[in-house]
A and B are shown apart, each in its own frame.
Chain A
Amino acid sequence: MYPARWRKNDLLDPMGEFERLQDEINNLFDWNYPENRGLFDRSISPVVDVVENENEIILVCDLPGVDKNDLDLTITRNVMTIKGEKKGREKSEGDTMFRKETWSGAFQRTISLPESVDPEKINASMRDGVLTVKIAKREEVRPRQISVNVQ
């Protein structure tokens, strides 16, 4: 379940949609990366990196504005679920929204990790809106160096 993006649709301005499309296409030719909207709709679910190295699997997830206490992390064997809520601001009288590319609300993401992870050895930290989870690999799958004496 991912929250849908808020988008202002102005019925009185049918050309607005074209302008936005033109905007997005222009963005493609910019030196900058295109903005994260429209054609590059990535922001609706939290983005995740998963890195594997010799000893552990590292999961990095961008969660700006999410409090540590609103986050629920579970692991069942090798399936990890990140669940939480990104609290937005209650809309009050007299507010005018000019632009909104961000989203708020509940989110959930389930990721299958390699079988080699050890769900008992897990370490999660949250810093500057980035969640980092380190899960150790099981002992038996780690590469082991055996020194062989050559006579």
Chain B
Amino acid sequence: MSKHDTTKKQRCVQPLSEIREEEHKVIIKIEMPGVSKNDLNIVIENDLLKIYGSRKDEQIEGSYLLRERNCGDYEKVFTIDETIDRNSIDALMKDGILQITLQYKKEVQPRRIEIKSS
């Protein structure tokens, strides 16, 4: 993982994201085309989940006939609350989409209560 200076403010693009909950997990999907696994940096600072992705696209020499793509690195910050287990966060990068799986802490997960028959 590349070291990212969190104090330096630079021009970044906010990537598009999707957040959903399924099976007591929170799944965040972030679209970061052009970022490979090695150019990603995910950090947790207290209640903030910070995601940086630097784009290592080769700079193309020539004149632009059309320019719609954003240039610059990606940055996204999410606030996570105390119900999220900080120690079991999974991240998966595939085809330019980063998928982060957040688990709830054990104590907030639904628990089946056994009923004893007398």
Contact = CB atoms under 8 A, between A and B. Distances in A.
Interface of A: 31-37, 42-43, 47-54, 57-58, 60, 62-67, 92, 94-102, 111, 114, 127-130
Interface of B: 9, 11-14, 16-23, 29, 31-36, 57, 60-70, 72, 75, 94-97
Given A32-B12, A53-B63, A67-B95, A62 B23 contact: no
B68 A42 contact: yes
A64 B68 CA distance: 15
B19 A52 contact: no
Contacts of B70: 33, 47
Given A31-B9, A42-B68, A50-B66, A101 B34 contact: no
Nearest to A68: B95
Contacts of B9: 31
Contact of A65 (B34, B35, B63, B95): B95
Contacts of A95: 20-22
